[in-house]
Chains A and B, each alone.
Chain A
Amino acid sequence: MYRQKYVFLLPGLLVLVAIIIFPLLFTVRVSFSSWDVFNPGLDYIGGRNYARMWADTRYWEALGRLSVLAGATVLIQYVLGFALALLVWGDVRAKRFFRVLFLIPMMTTPVIMSVIWRTIFHESLGPLNGFLRAAGLSAQPWLSDATLAFVSVMIVEIWQWTPFMFLLLLAGLMSLPREPYLAAQIDGAGPVRTFFQVTFPMMAAISVGAILIRLIEASKIMETVYVMTSGGPGTATETSSYYIYIRGLRDFQLGYSASLSLTYLIIMIISLTIIAKVMIRLLVKDRT
C-alpha cells in the first residue's frame, strides 16, 4: 500500500548515494589497496595500510598537534567571540558598523589571508618585527622557531574564525527572551551575576553548537598551515590534514592516505561525539 511513495524518495536517495555513500565506500576500498605511484589500481592488501599507520609516529604526532591547535584556538575564539557579541549586543554607538567590522576576517579568503599573515610575520621584511623593534623589543623568529610558528598559526586561526563565533553567539543573544533579565534586575543581580546566572546558561545550547561546528572546521585546518609554514619548521606545525595531503597528493600514496583519512574520520566522529555529550551534560541544564 502506498508503495509509490518510495519512488518519490528515490531522487534524494540517489543523490545521497552519489555524493556521500559512494565516495566514502570507495575510500574504504582504496584504503585496503596499495594504490601508489608505482602500483596503480585496486589490488587487495588486507589491513597492511592500517598496520603501517599504527607505527607511523608522524601521523599520531600530527593528530596530537591538531588536537591542541583546534582545542586551544576554538576555546579562545569562543571567549573572544562571546565578548565581542556581548559588546555589540548592548547599547553601544555604531553597533551596526562594529558588527560588520567584526565579520570582515571571516569573509576573506583563507589562502589570501594566510599569505598576508605570512608577510606580516616575515622576520626581516614583515611589519610585526618592525613594530617590535620600534617599541624597543627584539625581533622574533615567528615562522622559524617551532613554538612561535605554532603560535603564529594559532593567531591566524583565531583572527580568521573568531567572527564566526561572534556571529552565532550574537544571533543567540538577540533571540534570548527579556523576562529572565527583568527578573534578575528585580532581584538585584549585577552584570557579572546576570551573565553567569542568566545569559550563559541560556546560551549554553548555542555555545555547544558553535563550539562543535568550529571544532569540526578547525580540525580540517589546511590552508593556513600550507601557506604559512608548510608544516615546519621540522614538523612543528604539521597537522593531520596537511600530513594526509603530503602522503596522498605529494607522495601519491593513495591507498595509504585513504587509510589515514578514514582513521582520522573515525577518530573525529568518536571524539566530537564524546565532546558534544560532555559539553551538553556540563553546560546544558535543560536537556529535554
Chain B
Amino acid sequence: MINLRNIFKSLALSLVMLCFVTGNAQIDSLNKAQQLLQTKNIEQAKSLIESVILHSDTKGDFIAWTTRAYIYFDIYKRTDKLKLNSPLRDTIISSIKTSISLNPDETFKSNNTKLLTNLSAGYFNMAKVLLMDSLNYKRSVIAYNKYKETSLLIDSKTIFKAKDIEFYLAAGSLYSDIFNKDNNNTEAQETAKITLLKVLDFQPDNISANVNLGIMYYNQAVNLGKSLDFGADFSQIDLVQDNIIKLAKQSEYFVARVYNLDNKNLKAVEALHSIYKMLNEKTKEDEFKVKCKELNIKLD
C-alpha cells in the first residue's frame, strides 16, 4: 500500500514536472522563434511559431500571436506587398486580431498598431495605383475597403467621410474624363455616375461632383444629338429630343446646385449657358451669355 502510494506520488510529481518542462519548452520555442526572426531565419521561425500558437500553454499568449504576425510580415513585405489578395497579409491580420483579443500590454499594443498602420497604408496606396495607373475601379474599391477595415482595427472610431469623398471624387473625375474622351465607353460612364453620386451622398453640395455629374449628363445628351442619323424620321427625332431634354434637365439639376452656392463659379455659369441653349430656353441662355461675358468666359 505504501509502495503504491509512493508510485502515485512519484507519477504525479513527474506529471507536474513534465508539464512545467513542456510549458517552458514552448516558451523557449517562442523565444527561439523571436531570435530566428531577428536573425532573419524566417522559414525556421515560421515553422516554430506555428507549433507555439497551437500549444495550449502559449496559444493564449499575445506575444506568440504578435510574433507570428511579424514573422509573416517579413515574408509578406518581400513577396506580397503589391498583391490585392494575399494569404500572408490575411494571416498577419488574423494574428494581430487574436493578439488584440488577448489584451496585450502597451508595448505589444504599439507593435500591433505599427503593423496595422503599415498594412492599411499599403492598401490605400494599392487603391490609388489600381485606380489611377491600372484604371481598375473594381479592384481599387476592394483595396480601399480593405484600407478602411484595417484602419478600424487601429481605431474603431475612425471616421472616413473625408477619405471617402476624396476616393470617390477621384474615381468619378477619372472615369467621367474617360467617358468624355470616349463616349462609347458606357462602363466608364456608369462608374463615374456611381462614384460621383456616392460623393453627393456624403456631401450634397460638393462642387466638383455636382459639376462633373452635370456635365456628364449634358455631354451624354450631346452624344445623342450627334448620333441622330440625318435620315431619321419625325418619330425618331421626337424620341431623341425627349431623351435629350431629360438628360439636359438632369444636368441642369446638378449644375444649378453649384450656381446657387456660388454664382461666380465659372464652370457652372459656362455649363448652364450650354444647357439652356440645348433646352431652347432663349431667355435663360441670353442671361447666362451675359454672365459668361462678365466673367470673361469665352464661348465657342
Q: Do A and B bind each other?
A: no
- Interface residues, chain A, with chain B CB atoms under 8 Å away: none
Residues of B within 8 A of A (CB): none
